[in-house]
A and B are shown apart, each in its own frame.
Chain A
């Protein structure tokens, strides 16, 4: 191989393989946006919490539609497993490690947060809730 290509190529390959489960690039921007919105809503905001995200994921709500009181109804108790919509269609796991291409399209993320939070909770998720939820999924 041409010697001048080896190092850049090696760097590219390494960084690609190492970034597969990190929240790199567009996902970072998305989280940063949620963080600044969360800070604006509450000056005491000190960062997202995967622990809060997990609690949100598993929680049962009463404000939404009766047949979807929790994220787990469609996405399953285990974020690494495939989910199932109420019409039986298979859903890719929500855990980033199991679905490495997830959460890279901010518009798509926002669309599904809007729809699903409304279905489950009867309201939109706050920026803090969204960031917490994503932080939980990034580590799963």
Chain B
């Protein structure tokens, strides 16, 4: 049999190249961090800021944060023990190192196994992604804070963090 090697090889190269380049064009595949889907968690964690996607921090970070709500970035965010437990379970179950999402894993890069960072905005990967945002842009009245994802990421509440 006469196998047409050249067309086959070329075909595979084209497919391979496309897969690499177009891989980012999957529907919903762009920077996606599933938003909080639990009503209680959303209510309790979304009162003062966007209820941050659990997949943005490892489980150990959420555990650490929930254990010291009295000192939540300068505020007392305490809730009753039953609610705290419910929230902790949800956050840790959906954490970056639990759900195996592509972008969750990316954010965890350069975070040592012993570290339990509390600030998403101090994760090395986060800092890198936002390095081009100037200091004055952060202090604009429409932005105000690095924790205000939705100011620029209009799809943040639905989990989308495209540029």
- Chain A residues near B (Cβ < 8 Å): 65, 84-89, 111, 115, 118-119
Contacts and interface: CB of A to CB of B under 8 A. Distances in A.
Nearest to B140: A88
Nearest to A108: B43
Interface of B: 46, 48-50, 74-77, 79, 142-145, 147-148, 150-151
B74 A89 contact: no
Nearest to B46: A89
B39 to A, nearest CB: 13
Given A87-B148, A89-B50, A115-B75, 5 more contacts: A87-B48, A87-B49, A87-B144, A88-B142, A115-B76
Contact of B151 (A86, A88, A111, A118): A88
B151 to A, nearest CB: 6
Contacts of A88: 49, 142-145, 147-148, 150-151
Interface of A is mostly: loop
B55 to A, nearest CB: 20
Contacts of A65: 74
Contacts of B49: 85, 87-89
A86 B145 contact: yes
Nearest to B144: A88
Contacts of B77: 115
Nearest to A89: B49
23 contacts: A84-B144, A86-B48, A86-B144, A86-B145, A87-B48, A87-B49, A87-B144, A87-B145, A87-B147, A88-B142, A88-B144, A88-B145, A88-B147, A88-B148, A88-B151, A89-B46, A89-B48, A89-B49, A89-B50, A89-B148, A89-B150, A115-B77, A118-B76
A93 to B, nearest CB: 15
Contacts of B76: 115, 118
B7 to A, nearest CB: 56
Contacts of A85: 48-49
B141 to A, nearest CB: 9
Nearest to B74: A65
